[in-house]
């Protein structure tokens, strides 16, 4: 079945770049997402990438997709304290709608001064 | 303001005492869903609804019920809560059935079953 895997923790120094990685198993997934969960809040969609793209950039965020290795990454440039959160990778299987979006376990990003 | 509202934010109860967690969205969304979040397991889908009176099981439906009598509301019902249902619960909604549908999440309900 489908599975999305992420490491649980990442710690970076303020001002450095953060790279959060994710692997997925369904090679036919069409959309892959990054959601952000701030403390005490629900998830918010940060960005998404369509599977025919290799890269998507949006201000400080860069998403890289390696379809051959089924690897998705989120790079946050110039990491700030406000970036402290849990980041979820997610995919939508090809045979279903958003009702079957599959989430990874989340990566908790902490920022060191 | 477009939002998904869950109540209560925190709930402590005892085993076997029926409870309901409410969820309401003001965006006229067709799709609504319930997830539970547990450490190391991410979000797991409990139930979802594609429209009024249309509900379906997610990955972990055991011990839960839902109803969708109105488009805006999607309550989660625990008829006889047990300690393994202690978790953080999220309601979410989206506009429709598109493949790239942004999910809007509520702020969560932290449930503890003693």
Q: What's the burial of B37, exposed, middle or buried (CB within 10 Å: 0-12/13-18/19+)?
A: buried
Query: Positive or negative CA dihedral for B94, B85, A107, A103?
Result: negative
Contact A105 B33 (CB under 8 A): no
Report the alpha-carbon distance of residue A92 to residue A63 in Å, rounded.
16
Contact A99 B103 (CB under 8 A): no
Provide, as residue numbers in chain A, all residues whose Cβ is less than 8 Å from the Cβ of B10. Answer: none
pLDDT for position B46: 96
Whether pLDDT at B64 is above 70: yes
pLDDT for position A29: 65
Contact B99 A8 (CB under 8 A): no
Provide, as residue numbers in chain A, all residues whose Cβ is less than 8 Å from the Cβ of B105. Answer: 42-44
User: Residue A95's pLDDT band (boundaries 50, 70, 90)?
Assistant: low
- What is the CB-side half-sphere exposure of residue B86 using CA atoms within 13 A? 10
Contact B100 A92 (CB under 8 A): yes
**Which residue, A96, A63, A83, A69, is CA-closest to A10?**
A83
**Which residue, B19, B14, B25, is CA-closest to B91?**
B25
- Residue A47 to chain B, least CA–CA distance (Å): 10
Asked if B73 and B60 count as a contact pair (C-beta separation under 8 A), the reply is no
For the segment B31-59, what is each residue's pLDDT rounded down to a tens digit? 999 999 998 888 999 999 989 999 999 99
- Tokens 């609504």 belong to residue: B32
Report the alpha-carbon distance of residue B32 to residue A8 in Å, rounded.
27
Query: Among partner residues B41, B48, B105, which is closest to A42 by beta-carbon distance?
Result: B105
User: Residue A92's pLDDT band (boundaries 50, 70, 90)?
Assistant: confident
Question: When comparing pLDDT for A113 and B68, which is higher?
Answer: B68
pLDDT for position B41: 86
Residue B85 is given by DSSP the state G
Whether pLDDT at B76 is above 90: yes
Reading the block at residue B4, the tokens are 């998904």
- Residue B78 to chain A, least CA–CA distance (Å): 21
- Residue A102 to chain B, least CA–CA distance (Å): 8
């Amino acid at each position: 079945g489908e599975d999305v895997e992420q490491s649980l923790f990442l710690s970076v120094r303020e001002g450095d770049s953060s790279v959060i990685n994710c692997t997925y198993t369904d090679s036919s997934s069409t959309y892959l997402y990054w959601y952000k969960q701030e403390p005490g809040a629900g998830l918010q969609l940060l960005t998404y990438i369509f599977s025919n793209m290799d890269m998507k950039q949006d201000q400080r965020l860069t998403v890289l997709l390696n379809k051959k290795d089924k690897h998705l990454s989120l790079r946050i440039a110039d990491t700030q304290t406000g970036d402290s959160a849990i980041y979820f990778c997610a995919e939508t299987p090809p045979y279903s709608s958003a009702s079957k979006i599959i989430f990874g376990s989340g990566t908790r990003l902490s920022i060191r001064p | 303001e477009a939002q998904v509202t869950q109540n209560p934010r925190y709930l402590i109860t005892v085993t076997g005492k029926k409870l309901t967690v409410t969820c309401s969205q003001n965006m006229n969304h067709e799709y609504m869903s319930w997830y539970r979040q547990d450490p190391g397991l991410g979000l797991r889908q409990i139930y979802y609804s594609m429209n009024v009176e249309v509900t379906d099981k997610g990955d972990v439906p055991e011990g839960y019920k839902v109803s969708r009598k109105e488009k805006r509301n999607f309550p989660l019902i625990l008829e006889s809560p047990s300690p393994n249902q202690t978790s953080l619960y999220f309601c979410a909604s989206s506009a429709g059935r598109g493949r790239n549908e942004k999910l809007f999440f509520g702020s969560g309900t932290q449930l503890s079953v003693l």
